Structure 1
Amino acid sequence: MSGDGSPEIEVDGSGLRVAVVAARWHQEVMDGLLAGARRGLADSGVADVTVVRVPGAFELPVAAARLARAGFDAVVALGVVIRGGTPHFEYVCDAATAGLTQVAVSTGVPVGFGVLTVDNESQALHRAGLRGSREDKGREAVLAALETVVALREVAPPLR
C-alpha cells in the first residue's frame, strides 16, 4: 500500500491562513478528499480556511499560484486523475505536478500535494478518506503543508 511508512504528523496550525483548491472531476472522490482536508485543518486548529473549486487537476496550478500570492500561509491542492486509454493522463499529471511544484518553489508558500494519480476508480476511492478507504490523502496533504509552514518559520521568515 502506498501509505506504508508515512510519518505520523501532528501540528499546531493555530493562526495560519490556509487555502484549499479542489478540482470537481470525480465528485465522490473529491468529496472525500475535501472532507479529509477539512478534518486535518480542524484537528490542527486552523480556523482561517478558504476553499476554491476549479474544473479539474489541470487548473490547480494557476489557482494555487494566485492563492499563494494572496498571502495564505499554505495552499493545499486536491484532485484526481484516473488513467484512461490515451496519453491525456500523463499530460495532465505532469502539468499538475510540475505546476504545483513551481508554485511552491517560486512563491515560498508550501503546497500540499493531494492529487491522486491512479489507474482506476477503485484506487482513488481507497485513497479518498471515505468510509472504507485505506488512506486519507486530503488530510495527509493538509498536514504535510502545515508541518512545512511550521518547520520553515523556525529557520526563515516568509518571502512576502
Structure 2
Amino acid sequence: MVTSEIQDLQRGILPVVITTYETAIKDCSFLSRISFKAMIVDEAQRIKRAASKLYQCLQTYDAEMRLVVTGTPLQNNISELWMLLHFLLPEIFPMVADFARWFDPATLMDQMGRDRLAAQEAEHALITNLRNIIHPFMLRRTKAQVDFKLPPKREVIL
C-alpha cells in the first residue's frame, strides 16, 4: 500500500478498501489492526480450507459484518459449507463435527432403521434440514434471474 493510503486508512478516512487476496495476506498484520464496518469476500470458495493462509489471515480481521460471495457454496463436502458459515458466524457454527453430525446419513439411518423407505425418508429429511439451516444465510440467483442484458464486450488495444 502507498504510505498516504496507509495513513488515511489508520485515521479511518478511507470509506472503502478493495484489495486482492494476495495483498490481504501480505498486509495482514496491518489490516488486522483496523476495525472495518464490513468485509465482503468475493470468490469465497478460496476460504474453504482452514489451513489456507487466506482463511487464517481473514479470520484475524475485525469486521462488524461479514459477507461471502460464491457461485459454489457446496462443492465437495459438507465441511466446506460449514467453513463458510463458520467464517460468517463462528458463534452459531462453532464446530465442524457437530455440523457434520447434523447431516450424517449413517446417524440418521441408525435412528430410523435400515430399510429402504427409511433410507429415502432420511435422505429427504437431511436435504430439507440443510435447506432450512442455510436458507437465512443464502441468496441464490440463477443466470436467468440476473440476466442484465449487458452490451457486447468491446476490446480496445492501446
* TM-score, structure 1 as length reference: 0.27
Higher RCO (C-alpha under 8 Å, 6+ residues apart): 1
Give the structure with the larger strand fraction: 1
Q: Which has the higher Rg, Structure 1 or Structure 2?
A: 2
* TM-score, structure 2 as length reference: 0.27
